[in-house]
Structure 1
Amino acid sequence: MENRLEEFVAQQRLNAMSQSGQVVIDRQPLVDYYDDFYLGEIKLGTPPQSFTVVMDTGSSNLWVIDAKCESQDCLGQPVSEYSKHQFDTSASTTYQKSNQPFLLIYGSGSCKGVIGYDVLDLAGLKYASQGLGVATQIASVFGSQPIDGILGLGWPDLAQGQVVPPMQNMLSQLDQPIFTVYMSRLEASFCRHPVLPADAPVDGGRITFGGFDKDNCRDEINYVPLTSRTYWQFKLDDFVMGDFRAMTNYQVITDTGTSWIGCPTDVFNAMVKNTNAKLSPLIGQWIVQCDTYYPDMIFKIGGIEYHIPAYEYVLDLGLPAGDCVLAAFPMVGTGNNPKFILGDVFIRQYCNVHDIGQGRIGFARSTVEGTTYTPPSTQPTSPTTPTTTSGGFMATGSTVTALLLALLHNYL
């Protein structure tokens, strides 16, 4: 697994060479597992050690697994077919130890350990003393996923332990104080692919640090101001699906670390109704038929409608009987906390332009073949019987809502 992934990332960086023949060091290739994990490679220490991490705009801390941790989760659960890369701090001549503990709690897991400082290499951008968590304990869900840690791309106020996030440390090296996220997917159809083995990395897109991704994103960018500089949070004007219309404003975030769409319970119930989804007690997910027509999810942001077609939110994980998974989940949030999380399902259709300098986020259509979409003329694009929503919700915080590989292996 290690050699194949390193070769893949190296080839992706070579493919990003400029016309002058120089490697573009501010483009971070992503690898795609199941259209459910989008991961990137970083390096830490001297000499550098490589790690595969979630590039997570829904959190602000960097952490990797301590080599001293010998639990099965830290080593990698056998069912995942993925062996973890663990950080050997004693082998790094530039590692600075501290006695400050850290605890990070995500929507689907947690980790804890101590904070240290070392050289970080992110897509060729280097910072000499990046604060990071060296995890001596991780949740079992992380042990089953093909990840060695998480690199947060959120704002400083979201960071735990008074650690400065990587992006803020590297701003002075960027041509512009922005980064663009483009995510690809495996195929443009409802039932896209069988479950892939863990040693089969697939091109998952890239993050362009310091600029706009002109190769994969259309030129027109529609920006909205952030309502909070913690998450990448902004206002959602409305949500529509089939005969359901929310007819209210929500606080919402985009999050590369969340695989699916998180939404209020009444909105999720509308999704279930419009797809005739059934809850599978075996895997704990909502199941739909792969080859059936379903209406778009429509998110209205800054007065513009963003369509998410069914081939994005109907996820084929290789289940039997023509079954697919509804890539959405209910969540709760109160006050100014986010009520929606627009995860990878949304980001695959629309490049996210994170403008740190002006405190805003922009959306541009992806240009990759198969991700552009025109609503069928025979199908309605807005509801005929609007429904009003109401109620308060409790936010769960940053989420890495990803596939539990052990459950899938048991199912199959």
Structure 2
Amino acid sequence: MQPDLPRIVQRERSIYKIERILEALREPLFSVWLASRKVGNGEPGGAITYGALDNYNCDPVFQYENISSDVFYQFKIDGVSLREFKRERSEEAMLHFSNSIRGPTAIIEELAKTAGALPIGENGFYYIDCENNFPPLQITVGPTVYSIENDKLRIKVEDGYCLLALSPTDEGPTFGSSAWYFGIPLMRQYCTVFDVEKRRIGFAKPIPDETKSSTTARRSTIRSTKSYTGVVPQMTTPSTPTTSGGRGLLFLFSCIIFPIFLHCFGFYFI
């Protein structure tokens, strides 16, 4: 079988472009913070910090997880639990910018039932009372337990009507072969750091709005003047002046590294 030379050449060109972009960054990584509050018109729904950790919106990273895939931001988990329901199994999970957490159908059904949600037909969606304060969803990775609070797992559709931000992988498109796809609920609970060079994902606690400093951290970053569907791109101040074209290149960097990045941000914040 002959190799697909055009595709190989295109792939090599893409890798070369990524390497050139990484060289322009202070560090080969980018950080993502998503607002946990309700976002209003004109307010930033989150920030992307290129080349450094986001020390304005996020505390220091408390845990890194190694990436287990050459293609996706994917890592291994050891189990998920909610109240009395527990699933203890080593599985692949992908960090994914969708508006829900997706997993095996039977497990999602049990989690939804445990949370007190009701199915809406057979389309994989669940209704849940907006005042339902069910316990956190817990994700175990080795000795670390990541907890996602219930307010991150409710999507308000209208007054008194919420959808549960859990859905089965049988519904809708999937990427790769992961059993789990951890979307925006996890990323609203924790700041995430995509460390390209060291092939790992870092997690940090977001800083509450009322305790954020408006001096030192803000001086270390500059923000793009153009927001993208509610998300304010943010990047570190370079050692040499950067033109608006340079910022465009850095914004493209996130698209290359994670092709569905911008699409899912737009879907969630519009």
Amino acid at match of 1:327: A
Report deviation, 1:301. 2.0
The CA distance in 1 between the partners of 2:169 and 2:19, in whole Å, is: 30
Q: 2:168: which partner in 1?
A: 330
* Aligned equivalent of 2:129, options 268, 284, 289: 289
State whether structure 2 residue 34 is matched by structure 1 residue 183.
yes
1:230 aligns with 2:230: no
SS at match of 1:305: strand
The answer as to whether partners of 1:352 and 1:361 remain within 8 angstroms in 2 is: yes
Select the structure of larger CA radius of gyration. Answer: 1
Q: Give the one of 140, 152, 164 matched to 1:300.
A: 140
- Matches of residues 8-407 of structure 1 in structure 2 within 5 Å? 162=11, 164=14, 167-187=18-38, 200-256=41-97, 258-281=98-121, 285-318=125-158, 320=159, 322-331=160-169, 337-369=177-209
Distance 2:141 2:118 in 1: 30
Which structure's relative contact order is higher, taking Cα pairs within 8 Å and 6+ residues apart?
Answer: 2
> Larger strand proportion, structure 1 or 2?
1
Give the partner amino acid of 2:35: S
- C-alpha distance in 1 between matches for 2:264 and 2:127: 17
Query: What secondary structure, in the 3-state scheme, does the structure 1 residue paired with 2:45 have?
Result: strand
Q: Write the deviation string for residues 53-80 of structure 1: whole angstroms up to 9, x where unpaired.
A: xxxxxxxxxxxxxxxxxxxxxxxxxxxx
Deviations 1:26-65 (A, max 9, x none): xxxxxxxxxxxxxxxxxxxxxxxxxxxxxxxxxxxxxxxx
Q: Work out the CA distance in 2 between the residues paired with 1:169 and 1:301.
A: 34
Identical positions, percent: 23
Kept in 2: contact 1:260–1:401 (CA 8 A): no
Matched letter for residue 181 of structure 2:
I
Equivalent residue pairs, number:
209
**Structure 2: segments with no counterpart, 5+ residues:** 1-5, 211-258
1:404 positional shift: 8.2
The one-letter amino acid paired with 1:314 is R
Which letter maps to 1:276?
G
Which letter maps to 2:75? F
* CA apart distance, 1:279: 2.7
Residues 34 and 191, structure 2, Cα contact 8 Å, conserved in 1: yes
| 1:285 CA displacement | 2.8
Compute the RMSD of aligned alpha carbons: 3.4
Quote the offset at 1:238 in angstroms: 1.2
What is the CA–CA distance in structure 1 between the aligned matches of 2:127 and 2:44, rounded to whole Å? 27
TM-score by length of 2: 0.67
Bigger shift: residues 164-173 or 212-221: 164-173
Alpha carbons 1:237, 1:303 under 8 Å: kept: no
